């Protein structure tokens, strides 16, 4: 017993000093969290976490989230020690160019990292999404004697996480849904960057989580492995999500910096780190010291994980015999493969001058897709009737109906974004989240992280412009398209009519490597007559020629996205009656267009056609790239107003007459 305790203490100190040495060598980073939370992490990783370091993607592994991503060296130390493909050399290259140990954990870069964390609260909420996916998949696929999906979501969360509103929203939702597979250890060190949490964070956190419907447990000493272990066991036996409040000491062992803000976000310094090693009986040299018996102890995870996955594989083989159809579906989802002919038979919308709102067309396409794609699952921030994102024929996902595919997120856009990301991280589902485009501001950190992490999340945003009308400037997203297009890796698609919506959804579903955002109208827009205009499949190329004047070389190019395509169509018709040949270009997605070969891009926007007009009811920033020096942009460099949408378009100059006048002036100057 004594020897095992000595080994345990050595193992915990190995985590501490591997982390602190890496921060010191980089001369950058956060030593406080790893040193203070090492015992908590040790307990989870050696006594509870089911994982296979040789196969980080094993479907039924437990997920571990370090929500306080600034303490990333804690996670990197654990990954190296337990046998993931993260050599010690990578720890020595912490925060350096090209290393697999960046300052905050990045999904897809470092083996074993389950989620990109750092922006506080996001990891907390990602775990809620993972638990939703786990609960749903277990309801769909598990059968008596076959618990294919049965795993926990563990996390270490911090004071900062709990201060962030996104975590509060997600915790409220998790409590309502009774997501009992969530077990979070709260690193209650009561220190933030500016000093003691007494400065700003004096509420009773435990009572708050009890009010959310969580089980709250307390461990008075965050270094007490046995107490932490018992609390985790108790958490596993409760149907509610659990928060284990562990009283810890930031920078544990540092002679003068323990329990101070100085321990948070800067290297300890040579003398301070030396003092900590002497205090805890750790060798001063070499740096990155790992005792052989400690490494052997941690590396047991490799054999244990292989055995656990082997047992699961044997279970799955028996499942295949008893439930071959379910097994085939399960494998398809794990491989992220789409069903054969999933994109066939989707709605074809007939030409209609009155048309329909693109949000309405989206609802029809979504439901057609949902029949082909049982993994399609998501919901709205209390706006399903407005965003048209309810999947018919399936119940809401609730504690008593986890097979449901419709999620009531409530008025919680911050959480919805991060939860959808968590579902995408987990896999087995194609998640979407919906709200009004203006509320993308509430979700921007999650949208950005979905792009950074290459997640196939689908964002469905309606009420995309001044076209929503009377609700006024608070709800009219004039700057949002430009700001969202600025996010690297996010594909923004603003379809012009119902058939473009169909193709936009197909593009979103087919994109398994990055997120896609659909910007949809509240107001009706005409459904174009595709016997006259080119097919809507052009959406997949980002921009395409709708039509051009027959028999004449075009003098002017009119381009637009979304609702405003109808404006350039009508303006083009009038210009043709006045003898001006035009080319009309629907431009739903800059990002998709940028991916096309240069030859195609020049076919759509030829260099010789310099007289160009772009029309979009939002800030014009960025359109100059496509319009060029001789063109005109019809945009909106101000907030909107409250009035019927047709009045707004007229008052703000988005009219056929204004476009025709501008084109005639352009053409006249050119001819002159």
Interatomic CA distance for residues 405 and 390, integer angstroms: 9
In this structure, the answer to whether residues 637 and 660 fall within a common structural domain is yes
Say whether 342 sits in a helix, a strand or coil: coil
In this structure, the answer to whether residues 475 and 574 fall within a common structural domain is no
Listed residues 499, 527, 555: the one ending a domain:
527
Exposure of 460 by Cβ count < 10 A (0-12 exposed, 13-18 middle, 19+ buried)?
Answer: buried
Any domain includes 534: no
- In the residue annotation, 500 being an active-site residue is answered as no
Q: Residue 77 CB: number of other CB atoms within 10 A? A: 28
Any domain includes 625: yes
In this structure, the answer to whether residues 155 and 270 fall within a common structural domain is yes
Cα radius of gyration rounded to whole Å, the chain = 28
* Domain at 605, CATH number: 3.40.50.920
- Tell me the β-bridge partners of 6: none
Any domain includes 494: yes
Q: How many C-alpha atoms does 92 have within 13 Å on its Cβ side?
A: 7
Any domain includes 290: yes
In this structure, the answer to whether residues 412 and 545 fall within a common structural domain is no
Q: Is 122 within 8 Å of 449 (Cβ atoms)?
A: yes
What DSSP assignment string belongs to 161-213? HHHSHHHHHHHHHHHHHT-TTEEEEEEE--EETTEEGGGT--S-HHHHHHHHT
Nearest CA-CA partner of 616 in 637, 593, 592, 644 = 637
Interatomic CA distance for residues 125 and 132, integer angstroms: 11
Interatomic CA distance for residues 502 and 495, integer angstroms: 9
Give me the pLDDT at residue 5, please.
Answer: 87
DSSP 407: E
Interatomic CA distance for residues 563 and 22, integer angstroms: 54
Residue 529 tokens read as: 């007559």
Name the catalytic one among 90, 413, 548, 591: 413
Q: How many C-alpha atoms does 152 have within 13 Å on its Cβ side?
A: 24
Q: Which residues are CB-neighbours of 361 under 8 A, at least 6 positions away?
A: 347, 349, 497, 498, 499, 501, 502
CA dihedral 80, 83, 85, 90 (to 10 degrees): 20
In this structure, the answer to whether residues 422 and 560 fall within a common structural domain is no
Tell me which residue has tokens 């059968």: 143
In this structure, the answer to whether residues 427 and 570 fall within a common structural domain is no
Give me the pLDDT at residue 4, please.
Answer: 84
* Domain at 76, CATH number: 3.40.50.970
Any domain includes 242: yes
Any domain includes 209: yes
Q: What are phi and psi of 627, to 5 degrees?
A: -85, -35
Give me the pLDDT at residue 666, please.
Answer: 83
Nearest CA-CA partner of 543 in 481, 500, 505, 590 = 590
In this structure, the answer to whether residues 521 and 549 fall within a common structural domain is no
Give me the pLDDT at residue 289, please.
Answer: 98
Say whether 50 sits in a helix, a strand or coil: coil
In this structure, the answer to whether residues 516 and 543 fall within a common structural domain is no
Q: What are phi and psi of 100, to 5 degrees?
A: -95, 15
- Tell me the β-bridge partners of 558: 584, 613
Interatomic CA distance for residues 17 and 21, integer angstroms: 6
Give me the pLDDT at residue 43, please.
Answer: 98
Number of folded domains in the chain?
3
In this structure, the answer to whether residues 10 and 150 fall within a common structural domain is yes
Listed residues 527, 549, 575: the one ending a domain:
527
Nearest CA-CA partner of 520 in 548, 539, 499, 501 = 501
Say whether 398 sits in a helix, a strand or coil: strand
Any domain includes 289: yes
Give me the pLDDT at residue 39, please.
Answer: 98
The dihedral of CA 621, 627, 629, 633: what is its sign? negative
Say whether 500 sits in a helix, a strand or coil: helix
Q: What is the pairing mode between strands 524-527 and 544-548?
A: unpaired
Q: Is 477 within 8 Å of 437 (Cβ atoms)?
A: yes
Q: Is 618 within 8 Å of 479 (Cβ atoms)?
A: yes
In this structure, the answer to whether residues 579 and 611 fall within a common structural domain is yes
Domain of 118, in residue numbers: 2-305
Tell me which residue has tokens 């979103």: 508
Interatomic CA distance for residues 299 and 304, integer angstroms: 9
- Pick out the chain residues at pLDDT < 50: 672
Give me the pLDDT at residue 400, please.
Answer: 98
Say whether 410 sits in a helix, a strand or coil: coil
Exposure of 511 by Cβ count < 10 A (0-12 exposed, 13-18 middle, 19+ buried)?
Answer: middle
DSSP 233: H
Any domain includes 327: no
In this structure, the answer to whether residues 62 and 24 fall within a common structural domain is yes
Interatomic CA distance for residues 525 and 521, integer angstroms: 8
pLDDT tens-digit profile of 97-134? 999 999 999 999 999 999 999 999 999 999 999 999 99
Listed residues 506, 527, 548: the one ending a domain:
527
Exposure of 348 by Cβ count < 10 A (0-12 exposed, 13-18 middle, 19+ buried)?
Answer: exposed
In this structure, the answer to whether residues 399 and 443 fall within a common structural domain is yes
Q: Is 422 within 8 Å of 132 (Cβ atoms)?
A: yes
- Could you give the residue ranges of the DSSP H alpha helices within 30-158? 32-47, 72-81, 88-92, 122-141
């Amino acid at each position: 017993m004594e020897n095992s305790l000595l080994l345990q203490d050595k193992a915990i100190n190995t985590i501490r000093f591997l982390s602190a040495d890496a921060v010191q060598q980089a001369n950058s980073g956060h030593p406080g969290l790893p040193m203070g939370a090492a015992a908590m992490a040790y307990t989870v990783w050696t006594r509870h976490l089911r994982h296979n370091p040789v196969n980080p993607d094993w479907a039924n592994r437990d997920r571990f989230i370090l929500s306080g991503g600034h303490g990333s060296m804690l996670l990197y130390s654990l990954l190296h020690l337990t046998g993931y493909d993260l050599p010690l050399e990578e720890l020595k290259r912490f925060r350096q160019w090209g290393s697999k140990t960046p300052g905050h954990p990045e999904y897809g870069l470092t083996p074993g990292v389950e989620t990109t964390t750092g922006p506080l609260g996001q990891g907390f909420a990602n775990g809620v999404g993972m638990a939703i996916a786990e609960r749903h998949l277990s309801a769909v696929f598990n059968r008596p004697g076959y618990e294919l999906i049965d795993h926990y979501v563990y996390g270490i969360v911090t004071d900062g996480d709990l201060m962030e509103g996104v975590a509060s929203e997600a915790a409220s939702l998790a409590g309502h849904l009774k997501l009992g597979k969530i077990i979070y250890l709260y690193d209650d060190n009561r220190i933030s960057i500016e000093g003691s949490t007494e400065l700003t964070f004096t509420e009773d956190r435990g009572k708050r989580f009890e009010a959310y419907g969580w089980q709250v447990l307390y461990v008075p000493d965050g270094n007490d492995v046995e107490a932490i272990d018992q609390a985790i066991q108790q958490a596993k036996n409760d149907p509610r999500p659990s928060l284990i409040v562990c009283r810890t000491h930031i920078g544990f062992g540092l002679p003068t910096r323990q329990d101070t803000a100085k321990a948070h976000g800067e290297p300890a310094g040579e003398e301070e780190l030396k003092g900590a090693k002497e205090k805890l009986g750790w060798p001063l040299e070499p740096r990155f010291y790992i005792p052989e018996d400690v490494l052997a102890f941690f590396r047991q995870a490799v054999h244990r994980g292989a055995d656990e996955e082997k047992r699961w594989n044997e279970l799955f083989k028996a499942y295949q015999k008893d439930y071959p159809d379910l097994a085939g579906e399960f494998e398809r989802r794990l491989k992220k493969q789409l069903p054969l002919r999933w994109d066939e038979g989707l709605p074809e919308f007939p030409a209609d001058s009155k048309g329909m709102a693109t949000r309405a067309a989206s609802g029809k396409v979504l439901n057609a897709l949902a029949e082909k794609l049982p993994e399609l699952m998501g919901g709205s921030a209390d706006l399903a009737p407005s965003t048209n994102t309810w999947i018919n024929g399936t119940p809401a996902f609730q504690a008593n109906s986890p097979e449901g595919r419709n999620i009531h997120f409530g008025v919680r856009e911050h959480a919805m974004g991060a939860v959808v990301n968590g579902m995408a991280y987990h896999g087995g589902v194609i998640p979407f989240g919906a709200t009004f485009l203006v509320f993308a501001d509430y979700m921007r950190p999650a949208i950005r992280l979905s792009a950074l992490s290459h997640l196939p999340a689908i964002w469905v945003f309606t009420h995309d412009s001044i076209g929503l009308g009377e609700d006024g400037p608070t709800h009219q997203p004039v700057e949002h398209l430009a700001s969202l297009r600025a996010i690297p890796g996010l594909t923004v698609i603003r379809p012009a009519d119902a058939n473009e919506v169909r193709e936009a959804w197909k593009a979103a579903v087919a994109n398994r490597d990055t997120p896609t955002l659909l910007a949809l109208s509240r107001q009706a827009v005409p459904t174009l007559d595709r016997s006259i205009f080119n097919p809507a499949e052009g959406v997949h190329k980002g921009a395409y020629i709708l039509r051009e004047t027959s028999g004449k070389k075009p003098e002017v190019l009119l381009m637009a996205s979304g609702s405003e395509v109808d404006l350039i169509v009508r303006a083009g018709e009038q210009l043709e009656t006045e003898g001006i040949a035009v080319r009309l270009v629907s431009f739903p997605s800059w990002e998709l267009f940028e991916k096309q070969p240069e030859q195609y891009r020049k076919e759509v926007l030829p260099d010789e056609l310099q007289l160009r007009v772009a029309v979009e009811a939002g800030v014009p920033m960025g359109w100059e790239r496509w319009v060029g020096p001789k063109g005109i942009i019809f945009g909106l460099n101000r907030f909107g107003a409250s009035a019927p949408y047709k009045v707004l378009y007229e008052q703000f100059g988005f009219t056929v007459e204004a476009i025709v006048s501008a084109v005639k002036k352009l053409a006249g100057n050119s001819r002159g």
